[in-house]
Amino acid sequence: MIKKLDGYVIKTFFGPFIFIFSVLFFIFVVNIIWIRLSQFTGKGLSYWEILRLLSYLSAIVVQLVLPLTILLSSIMTFGDFGERYELAAMKAAGISLTRIMLPLFFVSVIFSMFLFLFSNNVIPDFQRKAKNMLYNIAATKPALNFTPGQFIQQIPGYSVKFDKITGENGENLEGVFIHKMANSYENQQSIVAEKGKFVQADNRNYLKLVLFNGHIFEDNLGNVSYEQRLKQPDQAIKFDTLVSHFNISDIINKAIESEKITDDYSFQNFIELNSTIEAAKKENDVVLGNISNELINQTNSFVSYIDKTKPKKAVLPTPKIDTMQQKKKLELLYSAFNKIESVKQLNINKVEQIQGLHAYFSRIIIYQQRIFAYSVTCLIFFLIGASLGSIIRKGGLGLPVVIAIVVFIIFYVLNLSVENMAWSGKMDPYLAAWLPNMVLFPFGAWLTYKALTDSQLFDIEKYKSLFKPIITIFSKNKEHERYR
pLDDT, tens only, 261-272: 666 777 888 888
What DSSP designation does 184 have?
Answer: T
- Bridge partner residues of 189 (DSSP): 218
Collapsing DSSP states into helix, strand and coil, what is residue 45? coil
Residue 21 and residue 65 in contact, taking contact as beta carbons nearer than 8 Å: yes
Helix, strand, coil percent values for the chain (each to nearest 5):
65, 10, 25
Q: Establish whether the linkage from the previous residue to 142 is cis, with ω within 30° of 0.
A: yes
69-79 pLDDT, tens digit each? 999 888 888 88
pLDDT > 90? residue 109: yes
pLDDT at 142: 47
Higher pLDDT, 478 or 115: 115
The better pLDDT of the pair 205, 374 is held by: 374
CA–CA dist 450, 92 (Å, integer) = 19
State the number of CA atoms in the 13 A half-sphere of 193 facing the CB: 25
Tens of pLDDT along 396-444?
666 767 878 888 889 889 988 988 888 887 888 899 899 999 999 998 8
Q: Is pLDDT at 191 greater than 60 in this prediction?
A: yes
| Selection from 105, 118, 119, 116 nearest residue 381 by Cα | 105
**pLDDT of res. 184:** 62
Q: pLDDT digits over 117-166, tens only?
A: 999 988 888 888 887 777 676 555 544 566 787 777 767 778 888 888 88
What residue type is assigned to position 155 of the chain?
Answer: I
CB-based contact 181:246 (threshold 8 Å): no
Q: Is the pTM of this model over 0.75?
A: no
What's the mean pLDDT when you consider all of the chain?
77
> Tell me, what's the pLDDT at 106?
92
288-328 pLDDT tens trace:
777 777 666 666 654 554 555 555 554 545 556 566 566 67
Residues 6+ apart with CB under 8 A from 221: 184, 185, 186, 187, 188, 229
Task: Please report, for residues 241, 330, 379, 416, the alpha-carbon distance to residue 32 in angstroms, rounded to integers and kept in the order given.
Answer: 42, 64, 27, 18
Q: What is the DSSP string of 348-388?
A: HHHHHHHHHHHHHHHHHHHHHHHHHHHHHHHHHHHHHHHHH
